[in-house]
Chains A and B, each alone.
Chain A
Amino acid sequence: MCYDVAIIGAGVIGALTARELSKYSLNTVLLEAAGDVAMGATKANSAIVHAGFDAKPGTLKAKFNVKGCEMMPAVCKALNVPYKNNGSLVVAFSEEEKAHVQELYERGLANGVPQMSILDEAELKALEPNLAPEACGALYAESAGIVCPYELTIAAAENAVTNGVEFKRDCKVVGIDFADGVFTLHTTLGDIETKYVINAAGVHSDEVSRMIGDDSFTIIPRRGEYFVLDKAVGGMVKRTIFQCPTAMGKGILVTPTVDGNLLIGPTAADMNKEDEDNTATTAEGLALVKKFAAKSCPAVSTRNAITSFTGVRAHPDVDDFILGPSEKNAQFIQASGIESPGLSSAPAIAEYIAGVTVEAIGNVGRNESFNGERKDVFRFRHATDEERAAAIAKNPAYGRIICRCETITEGEIIDAIRAPAGARDVDGVKRRTRAGMGRCQGGFCGSKVVEILARELGKEINEITKFGSGSNILFDRTK
């Protein structure tokens, strides 16, 4: 069979685009090289919905960021994932930086960012009393927010599959042929034929592009390192705290997460091309994060760190998003070079790319049975006592707590495995349910999650992996 559209890459762009396309009667397949959705840049970033004042006016980044920020609350609501409109502050720590803040404010006006204001020191410290004494003013953008990028992506993929999109994991595209108006994608799961291709391969989008002879851009992978701090200090700041941006990015931020932790980072260091899948943290990087986070909030201490991670940004050498049909082949549609503010822009990019694709195909009907509302996901930790009792009465598995730190039940873990495009490994369960994300980092629940996965998937426990092929947790049986 020949698909109408194959989307390469199940990150936030690929998954949301798949969901947009599921509004139409098209045969769409979402291909992911890794063992799960959201495994690249989507998994590890600042989890911020930027207001849109950073990008230069007139760029795609500026346009899609402002639009995406506006769309995000409704998308998150439909998909039943957390979103918080907490606002952001770009803080000035000197008179010189105040000028910079003013510049950002004006850029924001040019980009059409709503609800911005310049705060003086007193106003700033009334909002955020834990900022450093040197903080002397700020740009306040009330439309900014925070989301959980992988939860958003998981939900989007799930909703897309529910609405008819096919999802193939462990399906890496290694070559592309084009003949008679049809692409043949050579993948690790065999050949796949499709009329249209959407390239949402993130840090690998330039490689995929070159498979059809389009070498108009190159991705320079750029590492960003972070710490996640315990919920005990999650309320240190209410808003996302930026420092003035530099050539390499928006600097080290301090922000609450939608789950109540505190996130500090990222660094920004260009990497060698061959290292683009290397998400190792470095001693130097983590030291930088500590140093610069303390500049914003001196009380932030990595003594409260529960984990650290590295994300790799897909920074394109052309310095803007690459969106729309390739010049080499109009049936090959780029959604490439998506770096910050990619997450913020994602709903708008997805809508745009789906629109371009549908227009190119022409004469496409609506999918009459499309339902964009993802069904309610039971979250024991958020439920009232009455809801909990009712849920357990229906399914006793909701009465068995597996993850002590985050209060996650066996029922929620089973739901995550059985969901469309569901979890297949320990990290997949973790991203979908938060089991193992608390302060003990899976010390208590890790082995139980392995058992549940083995049982649900009909496997032996030594076949269960942390995050897909090769990351097995257990070896053979003991003597």
Chain B
Amino acid sequence: MLNYDLVVVGGGPAGMAAALKAKECGVKDIVILERAETLGGILEQCIHSGFGLTYFKEELSGPEYAARFIDLVEKTDIAVKCDTMVLDIDENNLVTAVNKKDGLLKIQAKAIVLAMGCRERPRGALEISGTRASGIMTAGTAQKYVNLDGYMPGKKVVILGSGDIGLIMARRMTLEGAEVKVVCELMPFSGGLTRNIVQCLNDYNIPLRLSTTVVETHGKDRLEGVTIAQVDEHLQPIESTKEYIECDTLMLSVGLIPENELTKNVGIAIDRVTNGASVDEMRQTDHPGVFACGNVLHVHDLVDFVTMEAQLAGEGAADYILNGAKETVYVPTTTGNGVRYIVPQRVNIKNPNDVKLYFRVGRIFKNAKVVLEIDGNVISSKKKIKLAPGEMEDVVIPASVLAGMTENSTITVRVEE
């Protein structure tokens, strides 16, 4: 059995930033376990630019953004085990993992950072009827084939879902010579970033059809076409609007699901909205010494925020390892009008620093205000020209306000129209 102070599960941007921060805080023995052949996570296949604008104040590609952290990790004595899959974490923070070189690994950790990222929602969850032809794949799988393997997964493409990966792939496939016929979005608004709709669809004249979905797939061996239809206010397809579109590929960009099988094994409480662990402001779960950050906690739209969140988790884990469990008085964060979820789900009012709350709205708001209310008092009220579910927002609880709170306090974030 191996012993480490900190085991980081996942070597993507979240895992690397958490490990680096913990190192910086003085944690000695750290290991990152990564299932892919290299560190970097999903960034390795995101060869488009747009990463780092917030964190580095410059525009980088995914691999460039990852490389900055890989270089930093390599300059430390943080141990890295790639091509290694974590199979289990038990309630005593004993990690079981496996790889070709070491075989079966048992690692006892003082603290653990969960940074497994997320996966794409597959077709089965969508109830699209029709054939099971080849050529139906998630946008992320297609992205890997194009960017890492160098093969075209299709020539005439329909994309279902306007998540960011779908939008990015619409542009990527177009640049590679494929014809992207349409991007269909079930909801009346896109779940992707506005800048991606502009830069990936509008700039290439790719139509985005809102309130539209794919109802049927056709073709016995390879996909030959799909039937699309508009949906009514209950999201049910409208028969009279059915339309056949010839295509050989259907790419799905219909949502990301935090990869929390390991988290559930430990028995950690999961937030039903985020599908990630329920955490405090240092991203500690309800299981002592286990922290979570990045897309495994809640799906982010920008990697910059993943990095910042992971640094909090790394700092929290370091504090736990070096100083033991902290005195805590938790106050839950409550979603008010228009707010779908808030991370963290609870705040330790003994925390001496400002605490940032990240949240998403449930629908589009225009010219609205984001209001932070504590114990019924408005702490801040910020005007926003537009709020959209695809863009994560934040508000800050100042340290001074936190210091005046009690265990019976309330924290609410709401949208005022």
Listed in ascending order, the chain A residues whose CB lies under 8 Å from chain B are: 228, 277-283, 285-286, 302-303, 305-309, 385, 388-389, 392-393, 396-397, 399-401, 404-405, 407, 439-444, 446-447, 451, 461-462, 465-479
Contacts and interface: CB of A to CB of B under 8 A. Distances in A.
Interface string B366-403: 00000000000000000000000000000000000000
Interface residues of B, number: 52
B124 A228 contact: yes
A278 B132 CA distance: 10
Contact of A476 (B133, B151, B221): B151
B67 to A, nearest CB: 22
Contacts of B362: none
21 contacts: A277-B220, A285-B129, A286-B129, A302-B127, A303-B125, A306-B125, A309-B132, A396-B101, A396-B103, A399-B102, A400-B83, A401-B35, A401-B87, A407-B87, A441-B122, A443-B120, A470-B222, A471-B221, A473-B134, A477-B151, A478-B176
A469 B221 CA distance: 7
B137 to A, nearest CB: 7
Contact of B221 (A283, A388, A470, A474): A470
A468 B134 CA distance: 10
Contact of A305 (B127, B140, B146, B220): B127
Contacts of A447: 141, 144-145, 149
Given A388-B98, A392-B104, A474-B151, A306 B124 contact: yes
A389 B99 CA distance: 10
Contacts of A407: 87
Contacts of B137: 446, 473
A208 to B, nearest CB: 21
Nearest to A426: B134
Contacts of B98: 388, 392, 399, 401
A467 B124 contact: no
A367 B151 CA distance: 49
Contacts of B130: 280-281
Closest 8 CB pairs of A and B: A470-B221, A307-B124, A466-B134, A441-B122, A401-B85, A396-B100, A471-B134, A392-B103
Interface string B208-252: 000000011110111000000000000001000000000000000
A478 B146 contact: yes
Contacts of A439: 122
Nearest to A283: B129
B89 to A, nearest CB: 14
B249 to A, nearest CB: 9
Interface stretch (B56-64, B70-78, B152-160, B340-348): B152-160
A43 to B, nearest CB: 11
A63 to B, nearest CB: 35
Contacts of A405: 261
A444 B119 contact: yes
B404 interface: no
Contacts of A469: 221
A392 B85 CA distance: 14
A421 to B, nearest CB: 22
B138 interface: yes
A305 B83 CA distance: 30
B144 A305 contact: no
A308 B216 CA distance: 13
Contact of B153 (A280, A302, A441, A474): A474
A307 B125 CA distance: 7
A475 B151 contact: yes
A477 to B, nearest CB: 6
B125 A473 contact: no
B134 A465 contact: yes
A309 B123 CA distance: 12
B150 to A, nearest CB: 5
A281 B132 CA distance: 9
B177 interface: yes
A408 B153 CA distance: 25
B122 A306 contact: yes
B199 interface: no
A107 B398 CA distance: 76
A34 to B, nearest CB: 11
Nearest to B122: A441
A478 B202 CA distance: 23
Contacts of B133: 466, 471
B131 interface: yes
B226 to A, nearest CB: 12
B410 interface: no
A197 B215 CA distance: 44
A281 B124 CA distance: 12
B104 A477 contact: no
Nearest to A439: B122
A477 B152 contact: yes
B96 interface: yes
Contacts of A397: 100
Interface in B172-197: 176-177
A446 B151 CA distance: 14
A380 to B, nearest CB: 8
